[in-house]
Chains A and B, each alone.
Chain A
Amino acid sequence: MNPRFIFETFLKLLPYLTVTLEYVSLSLLFGTLLGFLAAAAKLGRNRPLRWLANAYTTILRCTPSVVLLFLVFFILPAVMRNYLRINVDAWPALFFVVVTFTLFLGASQSEVMRGAYLAVDRGQFEAGVSVGMTEWQSFRRVVLPQAFFFALPNLTNTVIYLFKEGSLAFTIGVVDIMGKAYLVNATNFGLKALDVYLALALIYWPLSVFFEWLGRLLERRFGYTQVKPEAGKTAESVRGRGRSSIRGVRA
């Protein structure tokens, strides 16, 4: 192990972090939007849409990410050329990585969001419209912030997963930190593999820890929703209450 070489490699890899962060942030953005739409479809009343969203989730869940990446990389260009008359040959490989992870995140995020939405008692939404807010206002002001809180732990997980899983991008030629590490390793004929990948880990570790910390910070920021009000009692106690009030009448 050569600390000096590790450090030099670390510095060599660092610039490629922008590539990594690029597909992470873009996939996260589009994947979240897609997940939102899919979750809305699953929760909505439109049957065909609901079916479509469920099928999409199932198929994506059952496809390994490398497989999806290759499918997107090799099939999407053909589809776009033949059906949309768009030539994507010159487009950067990064595009296909983002498409792949967007599709993946869309599926997993849709489940996260669906669960988070259902975790917010519908009564609060009803209370919102009852004080004169529109349905959209009640959703945005009351349901969404709380659902976001419920989704946060999963969201943090997703970011870290994406950050690491993104290293697959190199298989279609995107040179991110993982890709660069692979290249550096190759120029050294694999003789310094341990040092190279240690340098790589020195980028992955602190950043993952940072994402974790960020997630926890946000959880605290939205943490007030953790305090749940006393849940309503059952019909049994309601009836009991009714009888007890008679004492009041007699008194």
Chain B
Amino acid sequence: MLAVTNIHKAFGTNEVLRGVDIMVEKGDVVVLLGASGSGKTTLLRCINFLELADQGHIRVGGIDIAFRDARKKDIHAIRRKISFVFQNYNLFNNKTALENVTEGLIIGRGMPKSQAVRIGKACLDKVGLANKFDSYPGQLSGGQQQRVGIARAVAVNPEVILFDEPTSALDPELIGEVLDVMKRLATEGTTMLIVTHEMSFARDVATKVVFMDEGNVVESGRPKEIFVKPKERRTRQFLQRFLGDSDYAI
């Protein structure tokens, strides 16, 4: 479970997050929507302390702390409970697919190598890469790399996985394979907070949709509510831009 309250973040004078609250219950698949520049990436990065929020509070897996009060030790503990899937995959280029997945287990958690390898292979198998254990990132397609990225995030058994536009860097024909993996995780009850522009995915898989604009949460609710009967004008405008028509129906 993850609860973030009143999170503020500015870059210089640019106020990017203006008091955002996000709640992700166990087993939830929360999809975060919003126009480019609305602060979605910054929000995810703040949750994982890749950026330090100016204000706000985080509660995850028994840890309950204000962002500003978190020391190195707390940050490390929180990161162990949250994993991250990046838009550009960010695989370790000097490690094989399997090593990419086991690294966090062996080095980060001190797990015995044999056990880590067993888990790593199972996770790669789950994302359909059982035949790519020994490939380096440079030898994999974008879709395969992102699936390794997902396996790496799943392997450490986190409370919640954050996805930042996991399919945005992919060629169109490779998007499906990644979304399929994410759908499977959802049916298995993996807790996820996902930034994406894949509307059909949001509609079909999300348990909750959150719409952000200019650093604020404008509206949130079940996908049906948001897609069919958005209450806020800004949500409607955003959806119209993406869906492009008024006869859209679920």
Contacts and interface: CB of A to CB of B under 8 A. Distances in A.
Nearest to A126: B50
B104 interface: yes
Interface in A217-251: 222, 224-233, 235, 237-239, 241-246, 248-250
Contact of B243 (A123, A233, A246): A246
Contacts of A237: 168
Interface of A: 121, 123-124, 126-134, 137, 141-142, 145-146, 149, 222, 224-233, 235, 237-239, 241-246, 248-250
A232 B91 CA distance: 12
A132 B36 contact: no
B103 A225 contact: no
Contacts of B82: 130
Interface string B152-177: 11011000000001011110100100
Contacts, number: 145
B168 A238 contact: yes
Contact of A124 (B93, B145, B248): B93
Interface residues of B, number: 54
A250 B248 CA distance: 8
B36 A239 contact: yes
- When A and B form their complex, which 6 residue pairs have the shortest distance between CB atoms, in order from nearest? A227-B138, A131-B104, A242-B197, A132-B108, A232-B88, A123-B90
Contacts of B91: 124, 127, 229
A251 to B, nearest CB: 8
Contact of A248 (B83, B142, B198): B198
B199 A229 contact: no
Interface in B103-122: 103-104, 107-109
B138 A124 contact: no
